[in-house]
Structure 1
Amino acid sequence: MKIAIIGGSGFVGTRLINELKEHGHSEVINIDKQPSHFYPEITTLANVLDQNKLDELLAGQDLVVLLAAEHRDDVTPKTLYYDVNVQGMRNVLNSMDTNGIKRIIFTSSVAVYGLNKENPSELNPVDPFNEYGKTKYQAEEVLQKWYAKDGSRNVNIVRPTVIFGERNRGNVFNLLRQISSGKFMMVGNGDNKKSMAYIGNIVTFLRFFIEKLSHGYNVFNYVDKPDFTMNELVTHIGTVLERNIPTTKVPYAIGMLGGFGFDFLAKLSGKKFNISSVRVKKFCATTQFDASALMTLGFVPPYTLAEGLANTLRYEFVEKRDSSRDITFTTE
């Protein structure tokens, strides 16, 4: 099978290419506007907005894995979300039609459900709150229309929760670093739960899509279960790192007051601080998503959430490496 990964130079794409090569998928190409640190030999620089280049590069391919997206919170102008995430999807599908390709795997996001929803499943209505979530779902709508025109096509969509793992510099890494530093105070009672997804499981699930789900229109959330509470996460980090993690707890109201204080300082100084009222609110919120549907597929993740966290913690905070030469990937 000839597999074209679009947007494979980043965190998920790099690990996916490695996963595919380790399991016998030798005919893989990567199309990305950024060079690949790990797989330059199979990477061609191109943009999803370049229709002619996509037509050329997708010739002869059997399946497309679309990872490319504008995802950061600070993208400007905001029209880039729509250009890349929505028009980019249209361009990819146009090139697939030109080249007779009928299979696509698309990484969407649980951001399509919006904020403060109670454990939403794939059957819940969408309610995105930002341009990223809105454009991810608009891209899904483009896929729905494409599939409706020809039932022999195959669309597989995964909506992952926040992804973490070795080399990733995103929100989960920042939280793990803060907790493991010993300079951590729990805001609230710590009973709120957080859905997370380990990179080793995500790429195995994408390979499962490639090898097992070759028909129909399929949408699945991806979350590693069971979810940890913040208290359980702190305990697990202390166990893995063999450290005594402080468990001082600050009432939510005081934590929010401190967050507002940093908001005020940021407004006065023009500087960005690691603490804000929004971050305190997100930290204390329960963020859970239902992933029971994927269990019906017979998919078994190779790692538990605890194992994924342990792998990440040991790699980032225990093993000795030259940080100046270590390749990392920055995400939200």
Structure 2
Amino acid sequence: MKIAIIGGSGFVGTNLLNLLSKDQDFTTINIDINPSVVHSELTVVGDVLNQPSLEKNLAGVDAVVLLAAEHRDDVSPISLYYDVNVQGMRNVLQAMHSQGVKRIIFTSSVAIYGLDKDNPGESFPADPFNHYGKSKWQAEQVLQDWYKDHSDWSIRVVRPTVVFGEGNRGNVYNLLKQIASGRFMLIGKGNNQKSMSYIGNIAAFLRYLTTDVQPGVEIFNYVDKPDFTTKDLVRQTSAVLGKKIPTTSIPYWLGMLGGYGFDVLAFLTRRKLSISSVRVKKFCAVTKYDSTKAMNSGFKPPYTMQEGLQRTLSSEFGK
């Protein structure tokens, strides 16, 4: 089976390629606008905004894993979210159609549900609060519309929550780094639960779905349980690293006020800053999601949540 990973030079794609490249049942190609540090021999330059190049690179492919996305909180101009995430989806589907490829696994996001929802499952109404979530939801709608005229296609949509693991430099890494440094500032009470996905498990789930050839559209949330609160993360980090980690707590309103101040500073200096009102809001929100469907699909995560967190903390901050 030949698998094309579009956007595989990033964190999730690299780990998925690590798995597939070790399996003799698969051959892989990575199509990405950026070079791959780890899998340069599998990588060809390609852009989801360039449909002709996609068609060329998808020749002989059996299935596509679409990871390419604009996902940062501070993408500018805003239109890039919709150019890459929505029009990019249309271009990928047309390129697949031209090459006779009828299987796609698309990584969407739990961001389509919005913030502070009550443990949403896959049928929960979409209510995205930012342009990333809105563009991911629109991309899903493009897939649903496509399926109406292509009912023999196999379409799998995965909505992961925030992904963490060794080598990642995203929001969870920044949070764990602050906690591990002992200079952590807790905004609010810290009882808000955070659903997370360990990279070793999400990569394994995507690999699992590549073997699902049945036609139809299936949507899966992906979350590793249990859901930790911010206070739980402080306790787990303290236990793994073997040190007492003090925390300073400030009220939520004061944290948001500081976030707005950094928004103004970023606007005036034209710089991308690590703190913003959006990130403070996301940090303090309840982000808890139901993943019963994925866990009942026959997939068995290779790591527990505690093992994933321990592996990450030991690798990144251990002595």
Cα-to-partner distance string for 1:29-49 (whole Å, 9 max, x where unaligned): 111111111111111101111
Quick one: distance in 2 between partners of 1:145 and 1:268?
A: 42
- Give, in angstroms, the shift of residue 247 of structure 1: 4.0
- What corresponds to 1:243 in structure 2? 243
Please tell me whether residue 12 in structure 1 is matched to residue 12 in structure 2. Answer: yes
Cα-to-partner distance string for 1:64-85 (whole Å, 9 max, x where unaligned): 1111111122222222222211
User: Do the aligned partners of residues 73 and 275 (structure 1) sit closer, same or farther apart at CA in structure 2, a change above 3 Å counting?
Assistant: closer
Quick one: distance in 2 between partners of 1:53 and 1:280?
A: 40
TM-score scaled by structure 1?
A: 0.89
- Secondary structure of the residue that 2:5 maps to in structure 1? strand
Native 8 Å contact 1:110 1:160 kept in 2: yes
User: Do the aligned partners of residues 37 and 188 (structure 1) sit closer, same or farther apart at CA in structure 2, a change above 3 Å counting?
Assistant: same
Cα-to-partner distance string for 1:76-106 (whole Å, 9 max, x where unaligned): 2222222211111111111111111110000
User: Do the aligned partners of residues 265 and 112 (structure 1) sit closer, same or farther apart at CA in structure 2, a change above 3 Å counting?
Assistant: closer
| Aligned AA (1:196) | M
Give the stretch that moved more between structures: 154-163 or 122-131.
122-131
- Give, in angstroms, the shift of residue 279 of structure 1: 3.8
Instruction: Map residues 121-270 of structure 1 onto 2, 5 A cutoff.
Output: 121-212=121-212, 214-256=214-256, 259=259
Please tell me whether residue 91 in structure 1 is matched to residue 91 in structure 2. Answer: yes
Give the stretch that moved more between structures: 33-42 or 126-135.
126-135
Quick one: distance in 1 between partners of 2:77 and 2:266?
A: 23
| Aligned AA (1:15) | N
Percent of pairs with identical residues:
60
Native 8 Å contact 2:7 2:67 kept in 1: yes
Quick one: distance in 2 between partners of 1:116 and 1:144?
A: 26
Native 8 Å contact 2:67 2:106 kept in 1: yes
Quick one: distance in 1 between partners of 2:12 and 2:34?
A: 14
- Secondary structure of the residue that 1:233 maps to in structure 2? helix
Quick one: distance in 1 between partners of 2:296 and 2:308?
A: 22
- What corresponds to 1:74 in structure 2? 74
Native 8 Å contact 1:156 1:213 kept in 2: no
User: Do the aligned partners of residues 100 and 281 (structure 1) sit closer, same or farther apart at CA in structure 2, a change above 3 Å counting?
Assistant: closer
Give the stretch that moved more between structures: 182-191 or 108-117.
182-191
- What corresponds to 2:57 in structure 1? 57
| Aligned AA (1:100) | G
- Secondary structure of the residue that 2:217 maps to in structure 1? strand
- Secondary structure of the residue that 2:244 maps to in structure 1? coil
Cα-to-partner distance string for 1:10-37 (whole Å, 9 max, x where unaligned): 1111100001122334410111111111
User: Do the aligned partners of residues 253 and 71 (structure 1) sit closer, same or farther apart at CA in structure 2, a change above 3 Å counting?
Assistant: closer
Equivalent pairs counted in the alignment come to 319
User: Do the aligned partners of residues 281 and 47 (structure 1) sit closer, same or farther apart at CA in structure 2, a change above 3 Å counting?
Assistant: closer
- What corresponds to 1:119 in structure 2? 119
Quick one: distance in 1 between partners of 2:267 and 2:150?
A: 53
- Give, in angstroms, the shift of residue 62 of structure 1: 0.5
Native 8 Å contact 1:29 1:42 kept in 2: yes
- Give, in angstroms, the shift of residue 163 of structure 1: 0.7
- Give, in angstroms, the shift of residue 257 of structure 1: 5.3
- What corresponds to 2:110 in structure 1? 110
CA RMSD of aligned residues (A): 2.1
Cα-to-partner distance string for 1:102-160 (whole Å, 9 max, x where unaligned): 10000011111122222111111111122211111111111112222132210000001
